[in-house]
Amino acid sequence: MSSARDLFLAIETSCDETSVAIVADGTETLANVVSSQVEIHAPFGGVVPEVASRAHLQNLEPVLTQALRQAVVEPDDLTAVAATHGPGLIGALLVGVTAAKTLALAWNKPYVGVNHLEGHIFAAFLERPDVRLPMITLLVSGGHTSLVHVRDRGEYTVVGSTIDDAAGEAFDKVARYLGLGYPGGPVIDRIASGFAGEPIAFPRGLMDDSLDFSFSGMKTAVVNYVRKHPDTPNDAIAAGFQDAVVDVLITKTMQAVKRHGVISACLGGGVAANSALRRRFEVACDDLGVDSLVPSRQFCTDNAAMIAAAAHWRLRHDGPTPLSGGATPSLGLGS
């Protein structure tokens, strides 16, 4: 192992994935182990905070062991230990934060607390360290939907966000209503991909000049449509709903790209794993002549590699986080 490299070990436990990653120099992923709790939460139709916290505590040590083995890294070789310290579920965050702080203390390394949203922004640099800034990043998941103007690393302005549900939340609610199961995003994606007919046309929410999003009306439109046309097959509805959501996401993102005159556009968050969104995002960026960054799925959904990448930059920029640091469930970008 070359000692010239900066090796960051990061822990991500903000929601329902327990993840530990080891990343070299902020870009080269040596290990990115993710243990998903989707199956544990499926009977509840959503993530149950206390259930998630209990599972993180059980999963952490095996995931940590696997990451160190996979990366072939000794603790002595590490530069720092990082963890997501917000936003997220407080009990879940505290497992990762406490683990990272303790390892930092025991291994005598600096600790770095990382903003989860900044992690999603840095996911782009893992595969494309050469990315040109400024860029617009569409952060889209079950917990948030926002457009971030990234002027430079560490310089962010949220230029648009949802005024009601997050996009991933809308996917979950529609899937639950249609009886398709949980989580909603992947199942709707799959059904829509296999559908060759004419999707139902649903209204697009909040298609005005603003860069804000609204998804709750679209969910209501689905409910009203099914009441009126109970015999419509689920796949035509799922495909139509996905079309509408993706349409709004793409339109607003491209509006932001034009308004802020950026040269790149990037996707991040769990919903960024949606195949229709990924496809149309690249096409729309091509049309506008901006560089499109669509990280591979393992770096879009919650993972610790993106936290390690952000930590690498944060440590140089801000220095270490004190071991008296905690977690902030509602941490925002720029705070």
Per-residue mark of binding to another protein, 304-323 (x: CB under 8 A): ------------------xx
Residues 233-292 that bind another protein (CB under 8 A): 269-270
* 46 scored as a contact of another protein (CB under 8 A): yes
* 33 scored as a contact of another protein (CB under 8 A): no
Least distance in angstroms from the C-beta of 141 to another protein: 5
Say whether the peptide bond before residue 320 is cis (omega within 30 degrees of 0). Answer: no
The H or E element that residue 20 is part of is strand 17-24
Least distance in angstroms from the C-beta of 146 to Zn ion: 11
- Backbone phi, psi, residue 73, to 5°: -125, 135
* 74 scored as a contact of another protein (CB under 8 A): no
* 189 scored as a contact of Zn ion (CB under 5 A): no
CA-to-CA separations, 35 to 57, 130, 179, in angstroms, rounded:
12, 30, 26
Residues 51-110 that bind Zn ion (CB under 5 A): none
- Measured from the CB atom, the residue of 277 and 285 that comes closer to another protein is 277
Least distance in angstroms from the C-beta of 148 to Zn ion: 13
Of 275, 287, 282, the C-alpha closest to 243 is 275
Count of residues binding another protein (CB under 8 A)?
Answer: 58
Of 87, 143, 81, the C-alpha closest to 118 is 87
- Measured from the CB atom, the residue of 26 and 168 that comes closer to another protein is 168
Of 269, 280, 270, 282, the C-alpha closest to 247 is 280
Q: Judged by CB under 5 A, which of 12, 172, 189, 302 binds Zn ion?
A: 302
Least distance in angstroms from the C-beta of 208 to Zn ion: 27
Say whether the peptide bond before residue 134 is cis (omega within 30 degrees of 0). Answer: yes
Residue 110 binding partner per list another protein, Zn ion, none, with a CB distance cut-off of 5 to 8 Å that depends on partner kind: none
* 97 scored as a contact of another protein (CB under 8 A): yes
Residues 157-176 that bind another protein (CB under 8 A): 166, 168-169, 172, 176
* 80 scored as a contact of another protein (CB under 8 A): no
Residues 185-214 that bind another protein (CB under 8 A): none
Residue 47 binding partner per list Zn ion, another protein, none, with a CB distance cut-off of 5 to 8 Å that depends on partner kind: another protein
Q: Judged by CB under 8 A, which of 98, 216, 234, 328 binds another protein?
A: 98
Which parts of 49-182 are beta strand (E)? 80-86, 111-115, 135-140, 145-152, 155-161
* C-alpha 293, offset from chain centre: 14
Least distance in angstroms from the C-beta of 229 to another protein: 26
| Beta-carbon contacts of residue 6 (< 8 Å; ≥ 6 apart) | 24, 25, 26, 79, 312
Least distance in angstroms from the C-beta of 143 to another protein: 3
- Backbone phi, psi, residue 129, to 5°: -60, -20
Count of residues binding Zn ion (CB under 5 A)?
Answer: 2
* 88 scored as a contact of another protein (CB under 8 A): yes
**Angle between helical axes of 184-193 and 234-260 (0-180°, round to 10):** 100
Whole-angstrom Cα distance, residue 164 to residue 144? 10
Least distance in angstroms from the C-beta of 127 to another protein: 21
Task: Identify the DSSP state of 321.
Answer: P
Say whether the peptide bond before residue 183 is cis (omega within 30 degrees of 0). Answer: yes
Task: Identify the DSSP state of 129.
Answer: T
| Beta-carbon contacts of residue 246 (< 8 Å; ≥ 6 apart) | 274, 276, 277, 280
Interacting residue ranges for Zn ion, rule: CB under 5 A:
141, 302
Interacting residue ranges for another protein, rule: CB under 8 A:
14-16, 41, 43-51, 53-54, 57-58, 60-62, 64-65, 75, 88-91, 94-95, 97-99, 101-103, 105-107, 116, 141-144, 166, 168-169, 172, 176, 183, 269-270, 302, 322-327
